[in-house]
Amino acid sequence: MMNEVIAFLGTGLMGEPMARHLLAAGYGVRVWNRSKEKTSALAEKGAIACDAPAEAAQGANTLICMLSDGPTCDAVLFHDEAVLLALAPDATLIVMSSIPVETAVEQARMSAERGVRYLDAPVSGGQRGAIDGTLAIMAGGDPDTFDAARELLGAMGRPVRVGLVGTGQQTKLANQLIVASTIATVAEALLFAERGGADPAKVIEALAGGFADSPILRMHGQRMIDETFAPGGAAKYQLKDTRTALARARSLGLELPVGHVVDALFASMVDHGDGDLDHSALIREIRRANALSASRKDG
């Protein structure tokens, strides 16, 4: 393990703690981020901060990409031939960003042309899960590539192979539909309870252990009550994922009516200037839809 070198591209809210866990597990880690100041804390922990993606990739056995979206991943990984060509022989590219299924399949094809193995392995669990090392990791790829990467991925969370390349992203889109619709339902339910005279904090306590209980009710419900909306998962990225999921559904000949309603709510939230807030701030949009102030503190 100590001889294995990992290139980690993208050390933002999620990537920084993920890379930190790899360092703690004993891997040699080279990091790159477009804003270099976001690599300084990792450098203090023993990572090598690099000025360019190709520098980070030089001789690496594994390249992990945790950038914001599909176009950004493509631009960094494939627009400069030097990046993948710098990797060690038989290296693996693991894209842990949330990207379209079709993008993952095409990236796998281009990686294979360059002799690089590929996994799409998006994550769920938010910044808290990244910090705690408890992320759900949904991996798509061939069994041998996954088995070789299982221990490495396990340093950051709980990896599960769900099928061939692209199915990791398909699973993440299913996850995002569940997350988005649950946030919307929790927001509606807490506003409903509050306007009916119930203490929303006590509502969460009362529902604990019942069928309505969930991490989103407990964690995001409390955020809604406290109005602490520093982004663990920004609403604009939640909207990106619902848009991607609906486009994928259309390609499969599916109509997802609940998904369309939730997507429209997040779109309106972003239009109202709340896109950089945590996705739990959707309750602000539910309040606006009821002609109430976006903040409960304003009455």
| C-alpha–C-alpha distance, residues 183 and 279, integer Å | 8
The rounded mean pLDDT for the chain is 95
What pLDDT does 229 receive? Answer: 97
Least confident of 1-10, 235-244, 258-267: 1-10
Res. 2: pLDDT tops 90: no
Instruction: Tell me the residue ranges of DSSP E strands in 151-287.
Output: 157-163
User: What's the whole-number mean pLDDT along residues 193-213?
Assistant: 98
Res. 1: pLDDT tops 50: no
Residue 88 is given by DSSP the state: P
What is the domain partition of the chain in residue ranges?
Answer: 5-164, 170-298
H or E segment at 124?
strand 123-124
> Between β-strands 48-49 and 157-163, what pairing exists: parallel, antiparallel or unpaired?
unpaired
What pLDDT does 126 receive? Answer: 85
Res. 251: pLDDT tops 80: yes
The string of pLDDT tens digits covering residues 112-145 is 999 999 999 999 988 889 999 999 999 999 999 9
The string of pLDDT tens digits covering residues 155-193 is 999 999 999 999 999 999 999 999 999 999 999 999 999
Same fold, 5-164 and 170-298: no
User: What's the whole-number mean pLDDT along residues 18-39?
Assistant: 96
Q: So what CATH class is 5-164? A: alpha beta
Beta bridge mates, 94: 64, 119
Task: Return the structure tokens found at 283.
Answer: 């309750």
CB 156 within 8 A of CB 133: yes
Domain 170-298 annotated CATH 1.20.120.80: no
Query: Which residues are annotated as catalytic?
Result: 172
User: What's the whole-number mean pLDDT along residues 271-297?
Assistant: 96
Q: What length is written for the chain?
A: 299
Angstrom distances, CA of residue 147 to CA of 156, 193, 292: 15, 47, 52
